[in-house]
């Protein structure tokens, strides 16, 4: 920039005005503007956004924290978030938590140190204080997929309870009475709601059996899911259907069922919370719940920009999911 100014015999300030598109405010002549732009191009001038950020206090960068970006569900969500962010001139830094509190804490610290203009995050169990820390800094914040009941943040979630209830209801109507639920043992809104939605409907129909509700530790999931399925298979009173609370549990579970020769749907009907890309090529019948992933991403960005623009209203958005059938 100094270089350009020197060569043109003008001041750095003037160059800055032209290059940042504020030429009008500075009332700088068209001819001069062109000479500056021309020279900038010739010199392959690359503006240093770090310097600009330091000066303006704006980084044009947002942070996104998810459990695991390689998970199809979050991968797609981040794709939509990134495309929207790009459209608005923002870059996105993503960090994975692996559902681990320490990673979550570090992710938040990194993003705050980097002075991001806002954060979209999937909270981790027990991260309440960390989220409060962000809020105390007045950093624009949107929670997605889950939220903490004791903190009033903006959040975008789906109708977990209701969608699960409807799916189970459907299965019951098909005649499947003894239905099991396999879910993580994590105390987070989205998951507890799904479980609750199932249980309440089963109770309402008088077919609830608490032994058929299996809780899985995230860290040891493969083994525990397999054990759960073995247990269910060996139930004296035959289990007819399994509701898998997440796509990952579903994939692990069905893989194991194949290995064990448990036929779907002959031996067991299956329900999956979330869509799997590959339903399309598997020829097994699956009833599944399709969350509006694109909408979640876009609403999240929208709500975040509302805050970046100055709004301090906490918005609570609940989107509806669809129940679908794979065949």
Partner DNA sequence: CTGAAAGCGCTTACAG
> What are the residues binding DNA (CB under 7 A)?
1-2, 9-14, 16-17, 19-20, 22, 26-29, 32, 45-48, 51-52, 54-57
Exactly one of 43, 101, 223, 282 binds a second copy (CB under 8 A); which one? Answer: 282
**Which lies closer to DNA via its Cβ, residue 54 or residue 318?**
54
76 binds a second copy (CB under 8 A): yes
Angle at 123 between CA 228 and CA 202, to 5 degrees: 40
Tokens in use for 208? Answer: 């609830």
**Which residues from 305-324 bind a second copy, rule CB under 8 A?**
none
Tell me which of a second copy, DNA, none is bound by residue 26, counting a contact when its beta carbon lies within the kind-specific cut-off of 5 to 8 angstroms: DNA
Determine contact, residues 162/324, Cβ cutoff 8 Å. no
Tell me which of DNA, a second copy, none is bound by residue 68, counting a contact when its beta carbon lies within the kind-specific cut-off of 5 to 8 angstroms: a second copy
Tell me which of a second copy, DNA, none is bound by residue 137, counting a contact when its beta carbon lies within the kind-specific cut-off of 5 to 8 angstroms: a second copy
**Which lies closer to a second copy via its Cβ, residue 111 or residue 201?**
111
Q: How far is the CB of 316 from DNA (least distance, A)?
A: 33
Q: How far is the CB of 117 from DNA (least distance, A)?
A: 14
Cβ neighbours for 250, distance < 8 A, ≥ 6 positions apart: 244, 270, 272, 273, 274, 276
**Which lies closer to DNA via its Cβ, residue 52 or residue 233?**
52
Exactly one of 28, 151, 207, 251 binds a second copy (CB under 8 A); which one? Answer: 251
Tokens in use for 141? Answer: 């914040």
The size of the interface with a second copy (CB under 8 A), counted in residues, is 54
**Which residues from 44-73 bind a second copy, rule CB under 8 A?**
44, 46-51, 53-54, 59, 61, 68-72
Interface stretch with a second copy, choices 75-83, 154-162, 163-171, 307-315 (CB under 8 A): 75-83
How far apart CA 239 and CA 176 sit, in angstroms, is 9
* Residue ranges in contact with a second copy by CB under 8 A: 44, 46-51, 53-54, 59, 61, 68-72, 75-76, 78-79, 82-83, 86, 91-96, 103, 106, 109-110, 112-115, 133, 136-137, 250-251, 254-255, 258, 276-284
């Amino acid at each position: 920039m100094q270089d350009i100014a020197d060569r043109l015999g003008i001041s750095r300030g003037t160059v800055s005005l032209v290059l940042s598109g504020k030429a009008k405010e500075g009332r700088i002549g068209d001819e001069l503007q062109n000479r500056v732009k021309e020279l900038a191009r010739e010199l392959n001038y690359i503006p240093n956004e770090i310097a600009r950020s330091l000066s303006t206090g704006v980084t044009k960068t947002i942070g996104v924290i998810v459990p695991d970006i390689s998970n199809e569900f979050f991968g797609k969500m981040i794709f939509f978030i990134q495309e929207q962010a790009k459209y608005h001139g923002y870059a996105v830094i993503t960090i994975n938590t692996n559902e681990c509190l320490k990673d979550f804490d570090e992710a938040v610290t990194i993003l705050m140190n980097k002075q991001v203009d806002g954060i979209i995050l999937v909270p981790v169990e027990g991260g309440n204080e960390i989220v409060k820390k962000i809020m105390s800094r007045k950093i624009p914040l949107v929670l997605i997929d889950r939220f903490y009941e004791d903190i009033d943040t903006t959040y975008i979630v789906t109708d977990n309870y209701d969608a699960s209830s409807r799916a189970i209801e459907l299965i019951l109507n098909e005649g499947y009475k003894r239905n099991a639920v396999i879910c993580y043992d994590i105390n987070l809104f989205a998951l507890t709601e799904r479980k609750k939605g199932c249980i309440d409907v089963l109770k309402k129909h008088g077919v609830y059996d608490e032994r058929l509700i299996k809780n899985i530790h995230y860290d040891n999931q493969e083994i525990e899911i397999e054990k759960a399925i073995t247990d269910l298979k060996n139930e004296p009173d035959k289990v007819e259907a399994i509701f898998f609370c997440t796509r990952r549990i579903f994939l692990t579970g069905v893989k194991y069922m194949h290995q064990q020769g448990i036929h779907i749907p002959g031996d067991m009907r299956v329900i999956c919370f979330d869509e799997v890309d590959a339903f399309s090529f598997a020829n097994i019948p699956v009833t599944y719940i399709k969350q509006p992933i694109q909408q979640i991403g876009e609403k999240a960005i929208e709500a975040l920009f509302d805050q970046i623009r100055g709004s301090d209203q906490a918005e609570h958005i609940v989107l509806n999911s669809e129940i679908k059938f794979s065949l």
